[in-house]
Structure 1
Amino acid sequence: MSRAWTHDAIARIEADFRRSADTHLIRLDLPAFPGIPLYLKDESVHPTGSLKHRLARSLFLYGLCNGWIREDRPVIEASSGSTAVSEAYFARLLGLRFIAVMPESTSREKMARIAFYGGECHTVPGPGVASEARRLAAALGGHFMDQFTYAERATDWRGNNNIAESLYHQLGAEPDPCPRWLVVSAGTGGTAATIGRYIRYAACRNECTRLCVVDPEHSVFFDAFRTGRRDLRIDAASRIEGIGRPIVEPSFVPEVIDRMIRVPDAASLAALRTIERLLGRRCGGSTGTNFVGALRLMTELRERGERGPVVTLICDGGERYLDTCYNPDWIAAHGLDLAPWQALFERVLLGAPWSPPVALDEAGDALAACHSPLSSEARCSTLIR
């Protein structure tokens, strides 16, 4: 292995990082929520357009420093979405071949984004994307990045400009610099793990903050948090791209989460229409899921007469989802009715109480002891509101 090449590769990534400004933190003061500002950390402004830019940078640095990523060896990832786009960007920066293993059903638009940065798309007919990526890496003598295993450990959760440290630095000059809730969704679970650990690590400043993770319909993360089981599995794939998983991934760390909310997909997509009205721009589906959780918690604070910021993420822009989240035919084909949820959000933003068409599944607070696999179903019963 060429130590000189590794040092040069790390220097290139660090130089690229210094050329990039931090992402914006947008403040929304909604009249119906006096004293409860909503902050949106806009991760869509990264060079590759999503939150996954941070993860890809961390995974490359982690692989380089572990000696796994080497000169003239290809990098392989199991991803059809934003992670593959961002990893293709960094592979091109280092002059490395990059192959994204993905289902045959992946849209042409996403493949084109990966190809734009010089990446290759390797499709498989069934669900065994990760196993095929692992096989391909072995056959080519390359490195399987394996985002779902390494997302929670590749990022330095104690700081070094991770997303949590960036958030608190930007909030430092605000009237109330300590958010009551940080709301994120989980794909690998790595972002939630980083933020949850940082909240505890910097507890002397952030003792007022709790972490809420929102989960879409077709995902096992909520039930894993509620029951403490890591062996859960479902056959359905999440309709909210980038978040929700059919298995409990290694990077999902429930012990650092204070609360989880399961958000219906119709609510996530309806929220995108509300966000577009508030911001004048479109966002991706996971941002809609985040917004539903944030709005739920803001109404709860308001009902209790409490004040303080709520913070969530804009994960990526809506231009990647014109054929799904913003396509009426796709929405109808999945049997999703957005109208009742859109009406709810508009009422809540005018000061009405939280009265959703379908109650959200919620778990946390009193269920803090449920993270042990030995916890009983009785102790971990779901909270419905």
Structure 2
Amino acid sequence: MSDHSQAGDRRWAQRALARLRREAAAAPPVVLRRYPLPSSWGVSLYFRDESRSATGSLKHRMVRRLVEDAVAREEIRQDTTVVEAAAGNTAVAAAYFAQLIDVPFVAVVPGKTAQSKRERIEGYGGRCHAFDPPAGIYDEAARLAAELDGHYLDHFARAPHVEDWRGQDSVGAGLLAQVTAEEGRPPAWAVVGVGTGTTSAALGRHIRYHDLPTRLAVVDPEHSAYWPGWVTGDPRYGTGMPSRIEGIGRPRVEPAFLPPVIDLAVPVPDAASVAAMRHLATTTGWSVGPSTGTNFWGALRLAHRMRAAGEPGSIATLISDGADAYRGTYYDDDWVRGKHLDPAPHAATIDRWLGPS
């Protein structure tokens, strides 16, 4: 590579990184929402609302860091095609940031990916490359990136290395700081779902590094490997089945998942996630996605336990994304019945937990 070409790449990288910094600086403040538990409980429940990001989910921040890192390493240059294996919020955020720095983006998606999901990616200038079987999209993304002389984001492998678990800039650290400022002390519990494993691993290490009294609980949907992997201590545990709750759950334990920093793992029935998501929408007006329902179920279960034990304190969790992408699925009764999910018994459990003791 000539000196002139290297200088051109450096100038482009500086401009791209400046755009990414400006985008981060212009982001609206992250709102902390309080769920209205009865004051007599002595327990407070808070949600950090990540749905207000430009692409509507907590994946936005993670993908920005991945792109910043790849640009700084010169793995993404001005003529590089960015490739990712994803069809949901990660792919949408990757398309957004690729468009921001003016490089092409291709999302490798399963063949049955809904048109509405493809349109969200394409709305930011991305292109969808369909591939089956779904479990093969990761190898296909790596192959396609090599064929195009592009860059495979590979968020499952790379996200843990760009998350600052010591500082205050991660999602989990921000959640703890906001609740601490509101309550005057750290939360008793933090509750998060597990997708790549990055958020829980960073949060758990942050708690221990700063010697905080907060305990960390992870919530895990059906068919996911994280809860049984945590219980058995098997880092290679696999279920061979995909999660039905978008954004969290994996058929295998991903390398980023760190069981030693987790105090409690809570299995959550998929129908309970749907019931909890809908409960939040009807009682608070918060429009949230299904993984937030999973968070709420786990947090409410802990709040019920703290109430019964007479243990005061607060619980901190996340609104992972908004409801817009799920109007035709988790909020649609016909779709839910088609997936053989019955939220009604779990809605009754929520009412019982919130009722008089």
- The 3 A distance-change label for structure 1 pair 209 and 63 is same
Q: 1:132 aligns with which of 100, 123, 140?
A: 140
Letter of the aligned partner of 1:234 in structure 2? T
SS in 2 for 1:96: coil
Matched, 1:346 2:351: yes
Letter of the aligned partner of 1:333 in structure 2? G
Instruction: Show the counterpart of 1:26.
Output: 33
**Cα deviation digits, residues 323-354 of structure 1 (max 9, x gap):** 211111111112111111101101211234xx
Instruction: Show the counterpart of 2:51.
Output: 44
Letter of the aligned partner of 2:328 in structure 1? D
Q: CA deviation at 1:65?
A: 2.4
> How far apart are the structure 1 equivalents of 2:29 and 2:160?
21
Letter of the aligned partner of 1:196 in structure 2? G
Q: CA deviation at 1:232?
A: 2.1
Instruction: Show the counterpart of 1:264.
Output: 269
Contact 2:240 2:252 (C-alpha < 8 Å) held by counterparts: no
Instruction: Show the counterpart of 1:217.
Output: 222
Q: CA deviation at 1:160?
A: 5.0
Contact 2:83 2:108 (C-alpha < 8 Å) held by counterparts: yes
Contact 2:187 2:314 (C-alpha < 8 Å) held by counterparts: yes
Letter of the aligned partner of 2:170 in structure 1? N
SS in 1 for 2:106: strand
Further displaced range: 84-93 or 193-202:
193-202
Q: TM-score, normalised by structure 1?
A: 0.88
Contact 1:179 1:309 (C-alpha < 8 Å) held by counterparts: yes
Instruction: Show the counterpart of 2:3.
Output: none
**Identity across matched positions, percent:** 46
Matched, 1:57 2:57: no
Contact 1:168 1:177 (C-alpha < 8 Å) held by counterparts: no
Contact 1:186 1:215 (C-alpha < 8 Å) held by counterparts: yes
Letter of the aligned partner of 2:324 in structure 1? E
Instruction: Show the counterpart of 2:77.
Output: 70
> How far apart are the structure 2 equivalents of 1:62 and 1:131?
22
Instruction: Show the counterpart of 2:198.
Output: 190
Pairwise mapping of residues 233-382 of structure 1 onto structure 2 (< 5 A)? 233-352=238-357
SS in 2 for 1:313: strand
SS in 1 for 2:57: coil
- The 3 A distance-change label for structure 1 pair 191 and 285 is same
Q: CA deviation at 1:57?
A: 0.8
> How far apart are the structure 2 equivalents of 1:252 and 1:33?
37
Pairwise mapping of residues 146-185 of structure 1 onto structure 2 (< 5 A)? 146-159=154-167, 161-185=169-193
> How far apart are the structure 2 equivalents of 1:322 and 1:69?
35
Contact 1:176 1:308 (C-alpha < 8 Å) held by counterparts: no
Contact 1:33 1:302 (C-alpha < 8 Å) held by counterparts: no
Structure 1: give runs of 5+ residues left out of the alignment: 353-385
SS in 2 for 1:174: helix
Further displaced range: 246-255 or 26-35:
26-35
Instruction: Show the counterpart of 2:102.
Output: 95
SS in 1 for 2:43: coil
> How far apart are the structure 2 equivalents of 1:217 and 1:87?
27
SS in 1 for 2:217: strand
**Cα deviation digits, residues 85-140 of structure 1 (max 9, x gap):** 01111100100101111101111111111011111111112020100000000000
> How far apart are the structure 2 equivalents of 1:131 and 1:309?
43
Instruction: Report the count of equivalent residues.
Output: 349
SS in 1 for 2:146: helix
Q: CA deviation at 1:82?
A: 0.2
Q: 1:141 aligns with which of 149, 152, 163?
A: 149
Further displaced range: 209-218 or 334-343:
334-343
Q: CA deviation at 1:63?
A: 1.4
Q: CA deviation at 1:171?
A: 2.6
SS in 2 for 1:54: helix
Structure with bigger helix share is 2
Matched, 1:231 2:236: yes
> How far apart are the structure 1 equivalents of 2:196 and 2:255?
8
Contact 1:75 1:142 (C-alpha < 8 Å) held by counterparts: yes
- The 3 A distance-change label for structure 1 pair 33 and 50 is farther
Q: CA deviation at 1:224?
A: 1.2
**Cα deviation digits, residues 25-50 of structure 1 (max 9, x gap):** 01123117622110001000001000
Further displaced range: 321-330 or 127-136:
321-330
Contact 2:175 2:317 (C-alpha < 8 Å) held by counterparts: no
Letter of the aligned partner of 1:167 in structure 2? L
SS in 1 for 2:181: coil
Contact 1:33 1:298 (C-alpha < 8 Å) held by counterparts: no
Letter of the aligned partner of 1:90 in structure 2? F
Further displaced range: 32-41 or 220-229:
32-41
Structure 2: give runs of 5+ residues left out of the alignment: 1-5
Q: CA deviation at 1:231?
A: 1.9
Q: CA deviation at 1:68?
A: 1.6
SS in 1 for 2:313: coil
